[in-house]
Structure formats: structure tokens, C-alpha cells
Amino acid sequence: MWMLRLNMTDRSYKLEEVPERYKNLGGRGLTSTVIYDEVDPECHPLGPNNKLVFAPGMLTGTSAPTSARVSAGGKSPLTGGIKESNAGSSWAPALARLGVKGLIVEGQPEEDGYWVAKLAWDGEKPAVTFEPADAYVGQDLYDVFPKVYKRFGDKVHIAGVGAAGELGYPNSGIVYNDMNQGPTRYSGRGGLGAVMGSKGLKFIVLDADGAPGVEIANEELFKQGRGKMREALMEHAITKPKGGLNSYGTAILINILNEAGGLPTHNFRSGRFEGAADIAGEAIFETNKERKGKEIYNHACSPGCIIRCSNTLYGEDGEEIVSCVEYESDWAFGADCGISNLDDIAKLIKRCNGYGLDTIETGVTLAIAMDSGLLEFGDAEGALDLIEQMGKGTPTGRLLGMGSGNVAKAFGNPRSPTVKGQGMPAYEPRAVKGIGVTYATSTMGADHTAGYTIAPEILAVGGESDPLKAEKAKADLSRAFQKTTALIDSSGHCLFIAFAILDIESGFEGMIEEINGMLGTDMSADEAVEMGGEILRRERAFNEKAGLTKADDRLPEFMNYEKLPPHEVVADLSDEVMDAVYGEL
């Protein structure tokens, strides 16, 4: 395999042998290590010295179930620290099949303009050509993607940015094609779309036709592990066919968190939303059943996914409105903005997809704007207009594109549900204490996927932990989840395998055997998890050099004194608990 460098200053490329230091890394482990090794932590995120790194997971491109993930990494224009954001798409295994272990985008063109980098197999190695992309600038990605496929062929795979990335918004994502060639799969968080746009790179198009694919060091061990992983996923109630995720998607969590009093509502003013049942995964399922005349189960976001949690919301005419309505997007435009109409939420999600906006950051931003008096909670039409302004780059749109923390400052609103400048996702940290520790201490800013303590705190997966109990054990819980998550993000598996491997021991054994079989290593489970710990240490070291301190590992001040209904709780974990997460790592 190769490391591939795209130099956007002169639009050249270079293939390099994989350094020994990187040979057993993939996904997040590789992106964060390259950023740690090569990027000045004090550089401007949108300047020429930042880099954007793409890396398929260690198992991506193989037949390991639910392993078609890619990590994107760089210095975040939103948090000012290191960022990894991953997604599932056919683009990820195509990059692996082309023999590219890591793709590093560096430099910056001196002249204006955007480019397509096309990567294809030339018979012996991957080769890159650069072509102008100005014809696609400023347009809706739903209109642009068909044009790109027409130009390069139906078998290619696309990664790129929308208008938000071109405009340099810190809430812009990197878009990948879905299984129907639509622009709906995102590395959404942290503004990496702006990093890609700052380099004049509109799209990276992959043509893996004729590529040799990936090599597996120990096929027998890999197959043994793959079998255990598949069996665990097919058995667990959350991940099995017609189980929780396949039936109701990730939005199954709306009712669950609402009942727990941990569904942030009206810019985190309450933990319950009166319209929760109208927007939940069960409501999506029943709405589709009524409109299509049959039960509609969910589909895969990427090749080889057997969890199949990606849903579609259909309109009254039976035609698709959007795919998909993820829990976080559903919550961000629903409960947080006070909107209880599924069709309205779907339209807001689709506009974000079309412009390349992170739905979480955009929803949190709009809720802050509502809380600040720019429009009323529940005003779906007004929310849609503001997203349109973001996409078109009006003065108001540019302000909102700066991300939730910056918008709160602009309005002088102290109720800013952010950590390190990044908006909080769909779990109230006052009512779910462990996820609050993850929000505060994660190297990525407020990020539920960095250490998903919701599993034991809310779902009783991997044990049980009282979500309302403030104790030092929450630091231990979050640290353990952050380390394991860093490993999963590096493996190429979807994070949702965690439900099965936490409850089914053979599933966890299977993941370790898959990795050892792939790499030809003999890591124990503890050694593999410690790999995750080492990734966190590098990320933490980068952030410290970038100027982030323990003072940035804190929840917003208003949560310390403002009681959250219905449990009337505050953020009451001490600074010592927060500091213990990395102090003991």
C-alpha cells in the first residue's frame, strides 16, 4: 500500500512507501498520527500549513461486516484543535482497494479556482489527474452529483464539499456518495469541509476498476474473527435484522432519551420535548408504512453493512423527501428548535446536505438564534430560510455559518451549549453525567461518538450506570469508552458494532481476531485497546500545543447553575473528575 500526497499548490501528486510507524494504523489512528507528525498545531486551519488526511480503516475494503468507514482528519477551524470525523460510504473501500493507506492533501493554490482530483488504477499503481471544477461551484450538491457521475462514469465514488466548504464555514462537512449516488454521507463535524475548500479541492473522484484490492496477512484468523463479529451483530437486539436500528433507525433514541429526561429541548432549556413522539423513529416507521402501504425497513449506508440503520422519509406522494433522518439531525431540528413535523425536519436536513452543512452544528446554531430572538422556536419556515441564507452566503448566513459558539457570542447569549466551540449533540449532559464527561474532555470538542457512555447509562448495554449519579466513576467510564472508541474508529468498523461487542464477548474477540488477521499481528485485547489510548495521547498532545488547556475541558457555565427539568439537575461533576480522564491516561 501507499501514502498518497496531493499537493494543491502546483497540483502534483506523489506516492510514498508506508513508513514503519504507520503500517499497523488505519482510520482515526492514521489521520491523527499524520496530523500530529506533520501539522504545526499553531497554524491557521484554513491556511497553507494545515493538512487534510483521509484514511480507510484497518479493515476497510475487506469482507469484515459493517467496516466501510473512512476517517478524515486535520486541524479544526471550529475547535482550534485536532479533528477526526468519519463516515460510511463506498468511497472508503474504493480508496483501500486502490492501495492507498492514507491520502494527504497539502498546500494551497495561489490562484482562485476549484479542482477535481481523479484517482484511478493505471495497471501497476494508483495515478492522479487534476481537472477544473469551477462549473460545480456554488451549486446544490443534489444537482451537482449527477453531473459528476455523467462526467466520470457511473462506477466512480465521490468525496467533496458544498457551498459551505467553499465559503469557509466552520460548520461545513465533507460529503460522500451514498449507495444511490446521492450526496448524503458526511464527515460532518469540526469544519473539515472548509479545510478541503481552502485547498481549492472540490471533489476527489475514485475509480477503483481493475485495482487489486487489499491484502490480508492471515486469512484463516481473519475469517474466524469475521464470523464471530457477524454472529454477534446478527444476534444482538439493537443490531440484528428487524431489530431496533434496522426497524426504527438511530431516531429510536428520541423517545428513549425523552423518557429519561435527557433530550435537549429549546436550546437545552429542558430535557423533555412535548412533540417527541411525533418525530421519533417509531413515527418515521409508521409514517412510511402509511404513505407506502407497507412496512419499510432501513438500508445500508455503505457496502457490507449488516446493521442497516439508514432510513428514508417518504412524502405524502410516496416519493423520497430525504435519506436519512439520523437521530442527531432529527433532534437538532426537532426538539432543539421546537419543530415537531417530520416533513419539515426532513426538508431542513436535505437543505443541509445540499449545501454541505453539518446538521448537528447547524441545528444547535439555529436553536441559539431562536433563543436569542432571531426567530421563534418552532418556526420551520424561518429555519429553512436561514439555511438558504447560509448556502447563499448572505451576511446573516455567513454569521450563522461560523458555528454555534461564535453565534452565541455574536448575540451576547451566555446559554451556549458548546465545548471547545463545538455544539453539543443530542444528549443532555446534566441528565446523563457520563456523556457530559465525554463532551468536556474529548479531544474533539463536544462529541457523543468520542465516548458513547449512553450505552450503559441509558441503554443498559455493557453494564449499567445511573445517568443522574455524579461520581468519579464517570471519569473512568468515559476514559474507557474514549479509548475503545479510538480503536473502533481506527478499525474501519462502524461505531454501532459497540452494542454487540459490549454485550457479547465473542463479538469483541472477533474484532481483535479480524485486526490481527488483517495485519499479521498477535495483539491481545488489552494491547488493542491501549492502541486507542495512544491515539488519544497524540491528539491530546497536539491540542495542548495548539493552546488548549484543562480550562477547555469544562461544560458551559450556565449548566452549573441552571436546573434542567424534569429532574431539576445541574452539571455537578467537579473539575477533579474532568481532569482525571486524561490525568490517568
**pLDDT tens digits, one per residue of 376-427:** 999 999 999 999 999 999 999 999 999 999 999 999 999 999 999 999 999 9
Look at strands 12-17 and 2-7 and give their pairing.
Answer: antiparallel
Q: Which ranges in the chain are annotated with CATH 3.60.9.10?
A: 2-207
Cell 418525530 belongs to 279
**pLDDT tens digits, one per residue of 254-301:** 999 999 999 999 999 999 999 999 999 999 999 999 999 999 999 999
**pLDDT tens digits, one per residue of 85-111:** 999 999 999 999 999 999 999 999 999
Q: What is the mean pLDDT of the chain?
A: 97
Q: Please tell me the predicted confidence (pLDDT) of residue 522.
A: 97
Amino acid at 387: I
For residues 303-329, give the mean pLDDT: 97
Residue 56 CA to residue 4 CA, distance in Å, equals 13
- Angle (nearest 5°) at CA 496 between 491 and 501: 75
Is the separation of the CB atoms in 524 and 93 below 8 Å? no
For residues 492-521, give the mean pLDDT: 98
For the domain 2-207, what is the CATH code? Answer: 3.60.9.10
Look at strands 157-160 and 12-17 and give their pairing.
Answer: unpaired
pTM: 0.98
Residue 321 CA to residue 365 CA, distance in Å, equals 23
The answer regarding whether domain 250-297+310-495+549-583 maps to CATH 2.60.40.10 reads: no
For residues 57-66, give the mean pLDDT: 98
For residues 39-54, give the mean pLDDT: 98
Residue 189 CB partners (closer than 8 Å, separation 6+): 78, 83, 85, 173, 358, 360, 361, 422, 444, 445, 447
Whether residue 585 is predicted with pLDDT greater than 80 in this model: the reply is no
Per-residue confidence band for 234, with pLDDT thresholds at 50, 70 and 90: very high
Amino acid at 155: K
Residue 153 CA to residue 135 CA, distance in Å, equals 17
Cis ω for the linkage preceding 337 (within 30 of 0) = no
Look up residue 504 and give its DSSP letter. Answer: -
Phi and psi, residue 118, nearest 5°: -105, 125
496: left (phi over 0), alpha (psi -120 to 50) or beta: alpha
Number of H helices, E strands in the chain: 24, 16
Whether residue 179 is predicted with pLDDT greater than 80 in this model: the reply is yes
Residue 531 CA to residue 29 CA, distance in Å, equals 8
Q: Which ranges in the chain are annotated with CATH 1.10.569.10?
A: 250-297+310-495+549-583
Is the separation of the CB atoms in 379 and 340 below 8 Å? no
**pLDDT tens digits, one per residue of 418-447:** 999 999 999 999 999 999 999 999 999 999
Helix (H) or strand (E) holding 333: helix 327-333
Residue 291 CA to residue 273 CA, distance in Å, equals 25
**pLDDT tens digits, one per residue of 188-212:** 999 999 999 999 999 999 999 999 9
C-alpha cell of residue 327: 437521530
For the four alpha carbons of 386, 388, 394 and 399, in that order, the dihedral sign comes to positive
**Which residues share a beta bridge with 9?**
none
Look up residue 392 and give its DSSP letter. Answer: H
Is the separation of the CB atoms in 340 and 334 below 8 Å? yes
Residue 229 CA to residue 223 CA, distance in Å, equals 10
How close are the terminal C-alpha atoms of the chain, in Å?
Answer: 32
Residue 491 CB partners (closer than 8 Å, separation 6+): 26, 27, 57, 58, 59, 67, 511, 514, 515
Per-residue confidence band for 584, with pLDDT thresholds at 50, 70 and 90: confident
Edge-to-edge, what's the strand order for the sheet holding 126-132? Answer: 126-132, 115-121, 201-207, 157-160, 174-176, 185-187
Amino acid at 364: V
Task: Count the Cβ atoms, other than its own, within 10 Å of residue 16.
Answer: 12
